[in-house]
Chain A
Amino acid sequence: MRSSNLFVIVVALAACATAAAQTTLYQNVGRAATAEEIQAWDISVSPAGKELPPGKGTAKEGAPIYAAKCAVCHGRTMEEAGPLGPALVAKKGGNLRGTIAAWPFATTIWDFINRAMPRFNEGTLKPDQVYALTAFLLFRSGIVKEDDIMDAKSVTELQMPYRNAYVPSDLAEIGNIRKRACRLGHCPGPDPVAAH
């Protein structure tokens, strides 16, 4: 009993020794990050939406927030570049490409408003406000209805009109240098991966 306990400890120590070789060598260089710190710093939202916080909002709720916090730079119509910000929605019948409607994932809209807006006061919007602004932009782009509730689930599941307008469109293929079109849209000569 006693020896078997010892055995467990020895095995565990051996495993630690390998895993911790680097940390031992560079002892006291850097420190462990706490879960609270990571949560406070981590503002990245993936297309899977797993980092989206609780909260919700509609376009109706987003309209006054846009007017108060966004219009000063992006303009009231959203169809023309404002004094500091680009046009956000296409003119009626216009090309969506170049507007946020062409973004392939609504999670990116949420992520970008949350991390970078409003200019000069970045990071001050609350999750409900970010959801409401996301809903407002999507409504003005003709993608959702005015009363549609945007939350973690609907933002993640929303099918954006340009979702498949990217090459490669399969996210799993982007890491493959040949599938992501190499340089200038083609791969001349021998397989660059093989030649590397």
Chain B
Amino acid sequence: MSAKKSDRRQFLRNSAALAGLAAGAAAVRSVGAQTLDFEKSQTLDTPAAQAAALEGTPGLAPGQQFDAIYGVRSRYEHAGRIGGIGAYSTGPDGKVIRPYIGGLTPVQSLIGIITPAALHYHNTHGYPPPDIDPQQHRLLIHGMVDRPMIFTMEDIYRLPSVTRTHFLECNANGYTTPSRMAPEATAQITHGLMGCSVWTGVRASHIFDMVGVQKGASWIVAEGAEGAHHSKSIPLEKILDDSLIVYGQNGEAVRPEQGYPLRLLVPGYEAINSIKFLRRIKVVDGPYLQQRETNAYQTVVRAGKYADGKARWFQFELGPNSVITRPSGGQRIGTQGFYEITGLAWSGAGAIRRVEVSTDSGRTWKAAELQGPVLPKAHTRFTYAWKWGGEETVLLSRSTDERGEVQPSLAEVGKIWDVTVDYLKKATVGHTNAIQPWKVAADGRIYNAIV
């Protein structure tokens, strides 16, 4: 009885303290960007504590401390991101004049299905990743909701978390640009606008349960904290289905290029929808026609039956796709004999059901092995045992997803749009998931043979 009484007294004391804290927090919060008392972590896990602990770390050679603390790869490894479609424009002298350009994933060097964050493609459309202090970052959810709310990162970390493996792919991956069509194009040039990570965060549906979505709401508008406040309309149904609000990528915090400290992740949709530096979500009843959904991310065809001057917009979902990453463009195989052909397959519709490989220029197709894990809306590694007899040939892969949709050849893409392959070579057509052929020359050199 007395124990109970004392429990109750303790509870009341705690409650009073909590209430006081809440009142104080509200007062501080209303002025915006100040650090809140309770956010100053009471554990040793603070940047200062970590720095102090590292100071005495033994066994580090002078000047090498950083390498030992945050590891780096072997000096014999050189795979890196190269500038890509993120480049804004080039001057008359051919030099890129934008101060910040995107980078392409070296897909030909990837092993397994995970893209290291340091090699993950990035493109912030001319706006470098902002320097965001997670203690200052806030996420506002408002619009057609019962309880508009503001979340700190601490709030987000407290909520039930999930971990999912998903690819991100730019709508421009595989674009029929001159550099992508060139014989010397590597897989990084043809398919470098994609990556696949293990993402950790909160189900978007969970947050929307907390705020209470009102009847009639059908879309959201999500917005980032970078300079341009990139903003995108996404159907609410998709957000509630499988979208995440993530803070973790491959076992650590999401990298700045990927949206630190918080990013929306919309699996299987053009990655432009996965808003980085997520700071605000407005629940609405229709698309808001933001800049990157009215003058970009559309397909306009100027030949055939679709040459109606009209743009196909809001294409969202990415089709079944695959690419052989080894051997691939720019590489050279040596002696005749055994080689494992390996590559990646993925689809915005779900899991990859089948990958077929042709080693005879498309005459015959055989099932490749799916290495696993085979996860929905994630890169899937496939392998195929091949014996090269020194002949000239073309290697191809094509994927089929769980919906039964089959990756088209470039000619089939042309048929879909009612245009010739020649047209596709000249016009830049995005949202293209054409089969990638790699030509093996008699000397073992590998060339892009898309046309």
- Is B26 located at the chain interface by the 8 A CB criterion? yes
A188 / chain B contacts, CB cutoff of 8 Å = 405
A185 x B210 contact (CB < 8 A): no
A181 x B315 contact (CB < 8 A): yes
Which of A43, A111, A175 contacts B218 (CB under 8 A)?
A175
* Total A-B contacts with CB atoms under 8 angstroms apart: 180
A167/B311 contact (C-beta < 8 A), A115-B228, A116-B228 known: yes
Q: In the complex, what residue of chain A is closest to B21 when comparing beta carbons?
A: A28
Q: In the complex, what residue of chain B is closest to A184 when comparing beta carbons?
A: B416
B18 x A175 contact (CB < 8 A): no
Q: Whole-angstrom distance between the alpha carbons of A38 and B152 in the complex? A: 15
- Is B330 located at the chain interface by the 8 A CB criterion? no
Q: In the complex, what residue of chain B is closest to A179 when comparing beta carbons?
A: B314
Q: Whole-angstrom distance between the alpha carbons of A119 and B98 in the complex? A: 12
- Is B332 located at the chain interface by the 8 A CB criterion? no
- Is B447 located at the chain interface by the 8 A CB criterion? no
User: Which one of A2-10, A29-37, A56-64, A143-151 is at the B interface?
Assistant: A29-37
A31 x B316 contact (CB < 8 A): no
A104 / chain B contacts, CB cutoff of 8 Å = 289, 294
B319 / chain A contacts, CB cutoff of 8 Å = 183-184
Q: In the complex, what residue of chain B is closest to A40 when comparing beta carbons?
A: B32
Q: In the complex, what residue of chain B is closest to A105 when comparing beta carbons?
A: B289
- Is B190 located at the chain interface by the 8 A CB criterion? no
Q: Whole-angstrom distance between the alpha carbons of A98 and B427 in the complex? A: 14
CB neighbors of A among B142-179 (8 A) = 142, 146-152, 155, 158-159
B286 x A172 contact (CB < 8 A): yes
A166 x B298 contact (CB < 8 A): yes
A171 x B286 contact (CB < 8 A): yes
- Is A156 located at the chain interface by the 8 A CB criterion? no
A120 / chain B contacts, CB cutoff of 8 Å = 227
A83 / chain B contacts, CB cutoff of 8 Å = 97
| Residue interface mask A50-80, B partner, CB < 8 A = 1 | 0000000000000000000000000000000
Give me 4 other A-B pairs in contact (C-beta within 8 A), A33-B148, A38-B140, A184-B319 excluded: A32-B148, A83-B97, A115-B229, A180-B316
Which residues of B are interface residues toward A (Cβ below 8 A)? 18, 22, 25-26, 29-30, 88-89, 97-99, 126, 140-142, 146-152, 155, 158-159, 209-210, 212, 218-219, 221, 223, 227-229, 231, 235, 237, 279-280, 282, 284, 286-291, 294-295, 298-300, 306, 309-319, 348-349, 403-405, 408, 413, 416-417, 431-433
